[in-house]
Structure 1
Protein backbone atom coordinates (compact mmCIF):
# COMPACT_ATOMS: atom_id res chain seq x y z
CA UNK A 1 0.00 0.00 0.00
CA UNK A 2 1.42 3.33 -1.05
CA UNK A 3 1.85 6.10 1.55
CA UNK A 4 1.64 8.69 -1.14
CA UNK A 5 -1.17 11.07 -0.53
CA UNK A 6 -2.67 13.37 -3.08
CA UNK A 7 -1.28 16.85 -2.82
CA UNK A 8 -3.75 19.36 -1.43
CA UNK A 9 -5.53 21.30 -4.12
CA UNK A 10 -3.91 24.65 -4.47
CA UNK A 11 -5.94 27.76 -5.07
CA UNK A 12 -5.85 28.67 -8.76
CA UNK A 13 -3.53 31.57 -9.30
CA UNK A 14 -6.18 33.30 -11.41
CA UNK A 15 -8.62 33.58 -8.48
CA UNK A 16 -7.09 36.82 -7.23
CA UNK A 17 -6.98 38.25 -10.73
CA UNK A 18 -10.58 37.24 -11.27
CA UNK A 19 -11.66 39.07 -8.10
CA UNK A 20 -9.64 42.13 -9.07
CA UNK A 21 -11.26 42.26 -12.51
CA UNK A 22 -14.69 41.92 -10.90
CA UNK A 23 -13.92 44.89 -8.64
CA UNK A 24 -12.81 46.95 -11.62
CA UNK A 25 -15.93 46.09 -13.62
CA UNK A 26 -18.11 47.06 -10.65
CA UNK A 27 -16.22 50.35 -10.47
CA UNK A 28 -17.00 50.87 -14.16
CA UNK A 29 -20.70 50.12 -13.62
CA UNK A 30 -20.77 52.50 -10.64
CA UNK A 31 -19.07 55.36 -12.49
CA UNK A 32 -21.28 55.11 -15.58
CA UNK A 33 -24.43 54.27 -13.59
CA UNK A 34 -24.06 57.42 -11.51
CA UNK A 35 -23.75 59.53 -14.65
CA UNK A 36 -26.83 57.95 -16.15
CA UNK A 37 -28.88 58.52 -12.99
CA UNK A 38 -27.64 62.13 -12.76
CA UNK A 39 -28.75 62.77 -16.34
CA UNK A 40 -25.30 63.27 -17.81
CA UNK A 41 -26.16 60.39 -20.13
CA UNK A 42 -29.95 60.78 -20.50
CA UNK A 43 -32.31 58.09 -21.86
CA UNK A 44 -31.78 57.64 -25.58
CA UNK A 45 -28.24 59.02 -25.50
CA UNK A 46 -25.29 57.05 -26.81
CA UNK A 47 -22.43 56.42 -24.40
CA UNK A 48 -18.94 57.50 -25.48
CA UNK A 49 -16.99 54.92 -27.46
CA UNK A 50 -15.23 52.05 -25.70
CA UNK A 51 -11.88 53.65 -26.53
CA UNK A 52 -12.92 56.95 -24.93
CA UNK A 53 -14.38 55.32 -21.80
CA UNK A 54 -11.37 53.03 -21.31
CA UNK A 55 -9.06 56.04 -21.45
CA UNK A 56 -11.25 58.15 -19.16
CA UNK A 57 -11.80 55.44 -16.53
CA UNK A 58 -8.34 53.90 -16.82
CA UNK A 59 -9.63 50.36 -17.40
CA UNK A 60 -9.18 47.60 -19.95
CA UNK A 61 -11.72 46.81 -22.65
CA UNK A 62 -12.74 43.47 -21.00
CA UNK A 63 -13.40 45.29 -17.67
CA UNK A 64 -15.42 47.96 -19.48
CA UNK A 65 -17.50 45.35 -21.28
CA UNK A 66 -18.15 43.51 -18.02
CA UNK A 67 -19.29 46.83 -16.51
CA UNK A 68 -21.61 47.26 -19.49
CA UNK A 69 -22.97 43.77 -18.83
CA UNK A 70 -23.77 44.72 -15.22
CA UNK A 71 -25.59 47.86 -16.34
CA UNK A 72 -27.41 45.94 -19.05
CA UNK A 73 -28.62 43.39 -16.50
CA UNK A 74 -30.16 46.30 -14.57
CA UNK A 75 -32.00 47.42 -17.69
CA UNK A 76 -30.08 50.70 -17.96
CA UNK A 77 -28.24 50.30 -21.27
CA UNK A 78 -28.44 48.25 -24.44
CA UNK A 79 -25.84 47.62 -27.15
CA UNK A 80 -26.93 48.11 -30.74
CA UNK A 81 -24.97 46.87 -33.76
CA UNK A 82 -23.48 49.65 -35.87
CA UNK A 83 -24.98 52.20 -33.46
CA UNK A 84 -23.25 51.85 -30.09
CA UNK A 85 -24.33 51.51 -26.48
CA UNK A 86 -27.49 53.43 -25.71
CA UNK A 87 -29.14 54.45 -22.43
CA UNK A 88 -32.56 52.84 -22.11
CA UNK A 89 -35.73 54.68 -20.99
CA UNK A 90 -36.16 54.89 -17.21
CA UNK A 91 -39.25 52.70 -17.44
CA UNK A 92 -36.95 49.81 -18.34
CA UNK A 93 -34.57 50.23 -15.40
CA UNK A 94 -34.74 47.76 -12.54
CA UNK A 95 -35.62 50.26 -9.84
CA UNK A 96 -35.82 47.51 -7.21
CA UNK A 97 -32.12 46.72 -7.69
CA UNK A 98 -30.23 47.80 -4.57
CA UNK A 99 -27.37 49.32 -6.59
CA UNK A 100 -29.69 51.36 -8.83
CA UNK A 101 -31.40 52.69 -5.70
CA UNK A 102 -28.04 53.49 -4.13
CA UNK A 103 -26.96 55.44 -7.22
CA UNK A 104 -30.12 57.53 -6.98
CA UNK A 105 -29.44 58.24 -3.33
CA UNK A 106 -25.89 59.40 -4.08
CA UNK A 107 -27.56 62.25 -5.93
CA UNK A 108 -29.72 64.79 -4.10
CA UNK A 109 -33.15 63.13 -4.28
CA UNK A 110 -35.75 65.08 -6.24
CA UNK A 111 -39.31 65.77 -5.19
CA UNK A 112 -40.48 63.38 -7.92
CA UNK A 113 -38.15 60.61 -6.71
CA UNK A 114 -39.26 60.95 -3.09
CA UNK A 115 -42.88 61.04 -4.23
CA UNK A 116 -42.56 57.86 -6.29
CA UNK A 117 -40.84 55.99 -3.46
CA UNK A 118 -43.58 56.87 -0.98
CA UNK A 119 -46.19 56.10 -3.60
CA UNK A 120 -44.77 52.59 -3.93
CA UNK A 121 -44.66 52.19 -0.17
CA UNK A 122 -48.27 53.34 0.11
CA UNK A 123 -49.32 50.55 -2.25
CA UNK A 124 -47.47 47.82 -0.34
CA UNK A 125 -47.08 48.62 3.36
CA UNK A 126 -50.69 49.19 4.50
CA UNK A 127 -51.64 45.84 2.97
CA UNK A 128 -48.60 44.22 4.61
CA UNK A 129 -49.58 45.68 8.00
CA UNK A 130 -53.11 44.29 7.60
CA UNK A 131 -51.70 40.85 6.76
CA UNK A 132 -49.32 41.09 9.74
CA UNK A 133 -52.33 41.68 12.01
CA UNK A 134 -53.95 38.52 10.64
CA UNK A 135 -50.91 36.26 10.40
CA UNK A 136 -48.22 37.59 12.72
CA UNK A 137 -47.12 35.16 15.42
CA UNK A 138 -45.61 35.99 18.79
CA UNK A 139 -42.06 36.02 17.43
CA UNK A 140 -42.87 38.31 14.51
CA UNK A 141 -44.81 40.75 16.69
CA UNK A 142 -42.00 40.72 19.25
CA UNK A 143 -39.57 41.73 16.48
CA UNK A 144 -41.79 44.71 15.55
CA UNK A 145 -42.05 45.71 19.23
CA UNK A 146 -38.28 45.40 19.67
CA UNK A 147 -37.62 47.66 16.69
CA UNK A 148 -40.09 50.21 18.05
CA UNK A 149 -38.33 50.19 21.44
CA UNK A 150 -35.00 50.74 19.67
CA UNK A 151 -36.53 53.72 17.83
CA UNK A 152 -37.63 55.22 21.15
CA UNK A 153 -34.19 54.69 22.67
CA UNK A 154 -32.40 56.20 19.67
CA UNK A 155 -34.67 59.25 19.68
CA UNK A 156 -34.11 59.76 23.41
CA UNK A 157 -30.34 59.50 22.91
CA UNK A 158 -30.45 61.97 20.02
CA UNK A 159 -32.35 64.53 22.15
CA UNK A 160 -31.44 63.66 25.74
CA UNK A 161 -33.20 66.67 27.25
CA UNK A 162 -36.40 65.89 25.35
CA UNK A 163 -36.22 69.19 23.49
CA UNK A 164 -38.08 69.51 20.21
CA UNK A 165 -36.31 72.67 19.08
CA UNK A 166 -36.22 72.53 15.26
CA UNK A 167 -32.95 74.49 15.26
CA UNK A 168 -31.24 71.90 17.44
CA UNK A 169 -28.88 69.59 15.56
CA UNK A 170 -29.08 66.00 16.76
CA UNK A 171 -26.12 63.67 17.10
CA UNK A 172 -25.50 62.19 13.59
CA UNK A 173 -24.57 58.79 15.06
CA UNK A 174 -27.84 58.60 16.98
CA UNK A 175 -29.76 59.77 13.92
CA UNK A 176 -28.21 56.89 11.98
CA UNK A 177 -29.40 54.47 14.66
CA UNK A 178 -32.89 55.97 14.49
CA UNK A 179 -32.98 55.33 10.75
CA UNK A 180 -31.72 51.77 11.27
CA UNK A 181 -34.33 51.06 13.95
CA UNK A 182 -37.10 52.55 11.81
CA UNK A 183 -36.01 50.35 8.92
CA UNK A 184 -36.04 47.29 11.20
CA UNK A 185 -39.60 48.19 12.25
CA UNK A 186 -40.91 48.30 8.68
CA UNK A 187 -38.97 45.22 7.59
CA UNK A 188 -40.36 43.35 10.62
CA UNK A 189 -43.90 44.32 9.58
CA UNK A 190 -43.23 42.98 6.09
CA UNK A 191 -41.85 39.75 7.57
CA UNK A 192 -44.91 39.36 9.82
CA UNK A 193 -47.14 39.46 6.72
CA UNK A 194 -45.74 35.97 5.97
CA UNK A 195 -45.33 36.64 2.24
CA UNK A 196 -41.89 36.25 0.65
CA UNK A 197 -42.73 38.68 -2.16
CA UNK A 198 -43.58 41.43 0.32
CA UNK A 199 -40.45 40.74 2.37
CA UNK A 200 -38.28 41.39 -0.70
CA UNK A 201 -39.70 44.91 -0.83
CA UNK A 202 -37.31 45.81 1.99
CA UNK A 203 -34.75 47.27 -0.43
CA UNK A 204 -37.23 49.93 -1.51
CA UNK A 205 -38.25 50.66 2.07
CA UNK A 206 -34.61 51.06 3.08
CA UNK A 207 -33.81 53.53 0.33
CA UNK A 208 -36.98 55.49 0.99
CA UNK A 209 -36.18 55.81 4.68
CA UNK A 210 -32.56 56.79 4.07
CA UNK A 211 -33.55 59.51 1.61
CA UNK A 212 -36.38 60.86 3.76
CA UNK A 213 -34.45 60.86 7.04
CA UNK A 214 -31.41 62.44 5.46
CA UNK A 215 -33.61 65.30 4.30
CA UNK A 216 -35.45 65.56 7.61
CA UNK A 217 -32.33 65.79 9.75
CA UNK A 218 -30.41 68.06 7.38
CA UNK A 219 -33.26 70.59 7.52
CA UNK A 220 -33.96 69.98 11.25
CA UNK A 221 -37.60 69.26 10.35
CA UNK A 222 -38.19 66.06 12.28
CA UNK A 223 -41.25 65.51 14.46
CA UNK A 224 -40.12 62.55 16.58
CA UNK A 225 -43.10 62.49 18.95
CA UNK A 226 -45.61 62.25 16.09
CA UNK A 227 -43.56 59.65 14.27
CA UNK A 228 -43.19 57.48 17.36
CA UNK A 229 -46.91 57.74 18.14
CA UNK A 230 -47.78 56.68 14.60
CA UNK A 231 -45.43 53.69 14.73
CA UNK A 232 -46.86 52.73 18.10
CA UNK A 233 -50.39 52.84 16.62
CA UNK A 234 -49.33 50.40 13.90
CA UNK A 235 -47.75 48.08 16.48
CA UNK A 236 -50.84 48.20 18.71
CA UNK A 237 -53.19 47.37 15.84
CA UNK A 238 -51.05 44.41 14.73
CA UNK A 239 -50.83 43.20 18.33
CA UNK A 240 -54.64 43.40 18.63
CA UNK A 241 -55.09 41.48 15.38
CA UNK A 242 -57.10 44.38 13.92
CA UNK A 243 -56.27 44.26 10.19
CA UNK A 244 -58.35 47.31 9.20
CA UNK A 245 -56.82 49.48 11.91
CA UNK A 246 -53.32 48.23 11.11
CA UNK A 247 -53.71 49.16 7.45
CA UNK A 248 -55.17 52.60 8.14
CA UNK A 249 -52.53 53.33 10.81
CA UNK A 250 -49.73 52.46 8.39
CA UNK A 251 -51.35 54.62 5.72
CA UNK A 252 -51.49 57.60 8.10
CA UNK A 253 -47.85 57.06 9.09
CA UNK A 254 -46.70 57.04 5.46
CA UNK A 255 -48.79 60.08 4.50
CA UNK A 256 -47.23 62.06 7.33
CA UNK A 257 -43.69 60.86 6.60
CA UNK A 258 -44.02 61.55 2.88
CA UNK A 259 -45.29 65.08 3.44
CA UNK A 260 -42.54 65.75 5.98
CA UNK A 261 -39.91 64.57 3.45
CA UNK A 262 -41.32 66.78 0.69
CA UNK A 263 -41.39 69.84 2.94
CA UNK A 264 -37.86 69.11 4.13
CA UNK A 265 -36.64 68.81 0.54
CA UNK A 266 -38.19 72.19 -0.28
CA UNK A 267 -36.34 73.76 2.67
CA UNK A 268 -33.04 72.20 1.62
CA UNK A 269 -33.47 73.45 -1.95
CA UNK A 270 -34.44 76.92 -0.67
CA UNK A 271 -31.37 77.07 1.58
CA UNK A 272 -29.15 75.96 -1.32
CA UNK A 273 -30.61 78.69 -3.56
CA UNK A 274 -29.81 81.32 -0.92
CA UNK A 275 -26.20 80.16 -0.76
CA UNK A 276 -25.94 80.46 -4.54
Structure 2
Protein backbone atom coordinates (compact mmCIF):
# COMPACT_ATOMS: atom_id res chain seq x y z
CA UNK A 1 0.00 0.00 0.00
CA UNK A 2 1.49 3.38 -0.96
CA UNK A 3 0.33 4.91 2.31
CA UNK A 4 3.12 2.94 3.99
CA UNK A 5 5.62 5.11 2.12
CA UNK A 6 4.29 8.36 3.59
CA UNK A 7 7.02 9.78 5.83
CA UNK A 8 7.69 12.89 7.88
CA UNK A 9 11.41 12.88 7.11
CA UNK A 10 14.24 14.24 9.23
CA UNK A 11 15.60 17.69 9.95
CA UNK A 12 18.95 16.68 8.44
CA UNK A 13 17.16 15.65 5.26
CA UNK A 14 15.35 18.98 5.09
CA UNK A 15 18.69 20.81 5.50
CA UNK A 16 20.50 18.63 2.96
CA UNK A 17 22.15 20.67 0.16
CA UNK A 18 20.10 18.81 -2.47
CA UNK A 19 16.88 19.76 -0.70
CA UNK A 20 17.93 23.41 -0.44
CA UNK A 21 18.88 23.43 -4.13
CA UNK A 22 15.49 21.93 -4.91
CA UNK A 23 13.81 24.64 -2.85
CA UNK A 24 15.72 27.33 -4.74
CA UNK A 25 14.69 25.75 -8.03
CA UNK A 26 11.05 25.81 -6.91
CA UNK A 27 11.39 29.47 -5.91
CA UNK A 28 12.81 30.45 -9.30
CA UNK A 29 10.34 28.35 -11.31
CA UNK A 30 7.34 29.70 -9.37
CA UNK A 31 8.60 33.27 -9.69
CA UNK A 32 8.93 32.88 -13.47
CA UNK A 33 5.49 31.27 -13.75
CA UNK A 34 3.62 33.82 -11.63
CA UNK A 35 5.42 36.81 -13.13
CA UNK A 36 4.44 35.74 -16.65
CA UNK A 37 0.94 34.56 -15.77
CA UNK A 38 -0.09 37.42 -13.50
CA UNK A 39 1.80 39.89 -15.67
CA UNK A 40 -0.13 38.85 -18.78
CA UNK A 41 -3.39 39.74 -17.06
CA UNK A 42 -2.03 43.11 -15.97
CA UNK A 43 -0.73 43.85 -19.46
CA UNK A 44 -4.06 42.94 -21.06
CA UNK A 45 -5.89 45.15 -18.56
CA UNK A 46 -3.59 48.05 -19.46
CA UNK A 47 -4.02 47.56 -23.20
CA UNK A 48 -7.81 47.26 -22.96
CA UNK A 49 -8.41 50.02 -20.42
CA UNK A 50 -9.19 47.59 -17.63
CA UNK A 51 -11.40 45.23 -19.66
CA UNK A 52 -9.43 42.07 -18.97
CA UNK A 53 -12.55 40.02 -18.15
CA UNK A 54 -13.39 39.33 -21.78
CA UNK A 55 -13.18 36.23 -24.01
CA UNK A 56 -9.95 37.57 -25.47
CA UNK A 57 -8.58 38.16 -21.98
CA UNK A 58 -9.44 34.60 -20.99
CA UNK A 59 -7.65 33.18 -24.03
CA UNK A 60 -4.63 35.39 -23.37
CA UNK A 61 -4.47 34.20 -19.75
CA UNK A 62 -4.77 30.59 -20.86
CA UNK A 63 -1.95 30.87 -23.38
CA UNK A 64 0.35 32.82 -21.06
CA UNK A 65 -0.12 30.42 -18.14
CA UNK A 66 0.23 27.34 -20.35
CA UNK A 67 3.48 28.54 -21.94
CA UNK A 68 4.91 29.83 -18.66
CA UNK A 69 4.14 26.63 -16.77
CA UNK A 70 5.65 24.55 -19.57
CA UNK A 71 8.92 26.44 -19.11
CA UNK A 72 8.73 26.55 -15.30
CA UNK A 73 8.26 22.78 -15.02
CA UNK A 74 10.94 22.04 -17.63
CA UNK A 75 13.64 24.14 -15.96
CA UNK A 76 12.95 22.67 -12.53
CA UNK A 77 12.39 19.04 -13.51
CA UNK A 78 15.98 17.83 -13.13
CA UNK A 79 16.50 19.63 -9.81
CA UNK A 80 13.25 19.58 -7.84
CA UNK A 81 10.86 17.65 -10.06
CA UNK A 82 9.31 20.92 -11.23
CA UNK A 83 6.30 21.00 -8.90
CA UNK A 84 5.71 24.80 -9.05
CA UNK A 85 2.53 24.22 -7.04
CA UNK A 86 1.82 23.28 -3.38
CA UNK A 87 -1.03 21.05 -4.59
CA UNK A 88 1.37 19.03 -6.74
CA UNK A 89 3.76 18.74 -3.79
CA UNK A 90 0.91 17.64 -1.53
CA UNK A 91 -0.25 15.10 -4.10
CA UNK A 92 3.30 13.72 -4.27
CA UNK A 93 3.41 13.57 -0.46
CA UNK A 94 0.18 11.59 0.00
CA UNK A 95 1.46 9.17 -2.62
CA UNK A 96 4.69 8.66 -0.69
CA UNK A 97 6.93 10.36 -3.26
CA UNK A 98 8.25 13.19 -1.05
CA UNK A 99 8.57 13.53 2.71
CA UNK A 100 6.58 16.04 4.74
CA UNK A 101 9.58 18.14 5.75
CA UNK A 102 10.91 18.31 2.22
CA UNK A 103 7.40 19.19 1.06
CA UNK A 104 7.34 22.09 3.53
CA UNK A 105 10.62 23.37 2.06
CA UNK A 106 8.94 23.27 -1.36
CA UNK A 107 5.85 25.07 -0.05
CA UNK A 108 7.89 27.89 1.50
CA UNK A 109 9.86 28.31 -1.72
CA UNK A 110 6.74 28.31 -3.89
CA UNK A 111 4.92 30.88 -1.73
CA UNK A 112 7.99 33.12 -1.62
CA UNK A 113 8.43 32.83 -5.38
CA UNK A 114 4.84 33.91 -6.00
CA UNK A 115 5.06 36.79 -3.53
CA UNK A 116 8.34 38.12 -4.94
CA UNK A 117 6.94 37.85 -8.48
CA UNK A 118 3.93 39.99 -7.50
CA UNK A 119 6.10 42.53 -5.71
CA UNK A 120 8.31 42.78 -8.81
CA UNK A 121 5.23 43.20 -11.00
CA UNK A 122 3.88 45.97 -8.80
CA UNK A 123 7.24 47.74 -8.97
CA UNK A 124 7.92 47.29 -12.67
CA UNK A 125 4.39 48.34 -13.71
CA UNK A 126 4.48 51.55 -11.72
CA UNK A 127 2.20 50.37 -8.94
CA UNK A 128 -0.49 48.49 -10.87
CA UNK A 129 -2.57 46.15 -8.71
CA UNK A 130 -1.83 42.44 -8.69
CA UNK A 131 -5.43 41.28 -8.64
CA UNK A 132 -6.38 38.53 -6.19
CA UNK A 133 -8.46 35.63 -7.47
CA UNK A 134 -12.19 36.26 -7.12
CA UNK A 135 -15.49 34.54 -7.85
CA UNK A 136 -17.86 35.63 -10.59
CA UNK A 137 -21.16 37.02 -9.35
CA UNK A 138 -23.04 33.87 -10.43
CA UNK A 139 -20.47 31.46 -8.94
CA UNK A 140 -21.05 30.35 -5.35
CA UNK A 141 -18.26 29.34 -2.98
CA UNK A 142 -19.31 25.70 -3.26
CA UNK A 143 -19.38 25.87 -7.05
CA UNK A 144 -15.86 27.30 -7.00
CA UNK A 145 -14.62 24.77 -4.44
CA UNK A 146 -15.78 21.79 -6.50
CA UNK A 147 -14.40 23.38 -9.66
CA UNK A 148 -10.97 23.84 -8.05
CA UNK A 149 -11.02 20.22 -6.82
CA UNK A 150 -11.89 18.86 -10.27
CA UNK A 151 -9.40 21.05 -12.17
CA UNK A 152 -6.56 20.33 -9.78
CA UNK A 153 -7.34 16.63 -9.85
CA UNK A 154 -6.81 16.76 -13.62
CA UNK A 155 -3.57 18.67 -13.20
CA UNK A 156 -2.01 16.42 -10.54
CA UNK A 157 -3.23 13.27 -12.30
CA UNK A 158 -1.39 14.51 -15.39
CA UNK A 159 1.75 15.11 -13.29
CA UNK A 160 1.58 11.55 -11.97
CA UNK A 161 0.96 10.00 -15.38
CA UNK A 162 3.70 11.88 -17.22
CA UNK A 163 6.33 12.63 -14.56
CA UNK A 164 6.04 10.39 -11.49
CA UNK A 165 4.86 7.03 -12.80
CA UNK A 166 7.94 4.77 -13.16
CA UNK A 167 6.29 3.18 -16.21
CA UNK A 168 5.98 6.50 -18.03
CA UNK A 169 8.79 5.66 -20.47
CA UNK A 170 9.37 8.14 -23.28
CA UNK A 171 6.17 10.02 -22.49
CA UNK A 172 8.11 11.68 -19.66
CA UNK A 173 9.77 13.84 -22.30
CA UNK A 174 6.50 15.68 -22.90
CA UNK A 175 5.60 16.02 -19.20
CA UNK A 176 6.19 19.81 -19.03
CA UNK A 177 4.13 20.32 -22.19
CA UNK A 178 1.29 18.09 -20.98
CA UNK A 179 1.22 19.86 -17.60
CA UNK A 180 1.18 23.29 -19.26
CA UNK A 181 -1.60 22.25 -21.63
CA UNK A 182 -3.92 20.89 -18.93
CA UNK A 183 -3.56 24.13 -16.98
CA UNK A 184 -4.25 26.18 -20.11
CA UNK A 185 -7.34 24.08 -20.89
CA UNK A 186 -8.61 24.34 -17.31
CA UNK A 187 -8.27 28.13 -17.41
CA UNK A 188 -10.49 28.17 -20.49
CA UNK A 189 -12.99 25.98 -18.62
CA UNK A 190 -12.99 27.69 -15.23
CA UNK A 191 -11.38 31.08 -15.67
CA UNK A 192 -14.68 32.90 -16.13
CA UNK A 193 -16.08 31.42 -12.91
CA UNK A 194 -13.39 31.52 -10.22
CA UNK A 195 -10.19 32.45 -12.06
CA UNK A 196 -9.04 28.80 -12.28
CA UNK A 197 -6.17 28.89 -9.82
CA UNK A 198 -5.40 25.17 -9.26
CA UNK A 199 -2.41 26.42 -7.30
CA UNK A 200 -2.38 27.89 -3.76
CA UNK A 201 0.90 29.71 -4.44
CA UNK A 202 -0.50 31.42 -7.53
CA UNK A 203 -3.44 32.65 -5.45
CA UNK A 204 -1.36 33.56 -2.40
CA UNK A 205 1.09 36.04 -3.95
CA UNK A 206 -1.51 38.37 -5.49
CA UNK A 207 -3.73 38.13 -2.39
CA UNK A 208 -0.86 39.07 -0.07
CA UNK A 209 0.47 41.95 -2.17
CA UNK A 210 -3.02 43.39 -2.74
CA UNK A 211 -4.08 42.39 0.81
CA UNK A 212 -7.31 40.87 -0.42
CA UNK A 213 -8.12 37.48 1.10
CA UNK A 214 -11.84 37.33 0.28
CA UNK A 215 -12.74 33.66 -0.34
CA UNK A 216 -9.01 32.89 -0.35
CA UNK A 217 -9.59 29.59 1.50
CA UNK A 218 -11.17 28.14 -1.64
CA UNK A 219 -7.85 28.41 -3.46
CA UNK A 220 -6.16 26.34 -0.76
CA UNK A 221 -8.79 23.76 0.15
CA UNK A 222 -9.88 23.00 -3.42
CA UNK A 223 -6.42 22.42 -4.94
CA UNK A 224 -5.11 20.49 -1.92
CA UNK A 225 -8.13 18.17 -1.89
CA UNK A 226 -7.99 17.67 -5.66
CA UNK A 227 -4.23 17.05 -5.56
CA UNK A 228 -4.55 14.56 -2.71
CA UNK A 229 -7.31 12.61 -4.46
CA UNK A 230 -5.28 12.42 -7.67
CA UNK A 231 -2.17 11.28 -5.80
CA UNK A 232 -4.02 8.57 -3.90
CA UNK A 233 -5.97 7.33 -6.92
CA UNK A 234 -2.92 7.08 -9.14
CA UNK A 235 -0.71 5.53 -6.48
CA UNK A 236 -3.24 2.98 -5.20
CA UNK A 237 -4.63 1.91 -8.56
CA UNK A 238 -1.86 2.37 -11.11
CA UNK A 239 1.47 2.29 -9.26
CA UNK A 240 1.10 0.56 -5.89
CA UNK A 241 4.26 -1.23 -4.74
CA UNK A 242 5.13 -2.87 -8.01
CA UNK A 243 7.96 -0.44 -8.77
CA UNK A 244 9.78 2.37 -6.93
CA UNK A 245 8.89 5.99 -7.47
CA UNK A 246 10.29 7.80 -10.47
CA UNK A 247 14.02 8.45 -10.35
CA UNK A 248 13.30 12.16 -10.77
CA UNK A 249 11.75 12.16 -7.30
CA UNK A 250 14.21 9.73 -5.73
CA UNK A 251 17.33 11.61 -6.80
CA UNK A 252 16.86 14.35 -4.21
CA UNK A 253 16.72 12.01 -1.26
CA UNK A 254 19.26 9.32 -2.13
Task: Decide which structure has the larger Cα Rg and report it.
Answer: 1
Q: Normalising by structure 2, what TM-score?
A: 0.31
**Structure 1 length normalisation: TM-score?**
0.30
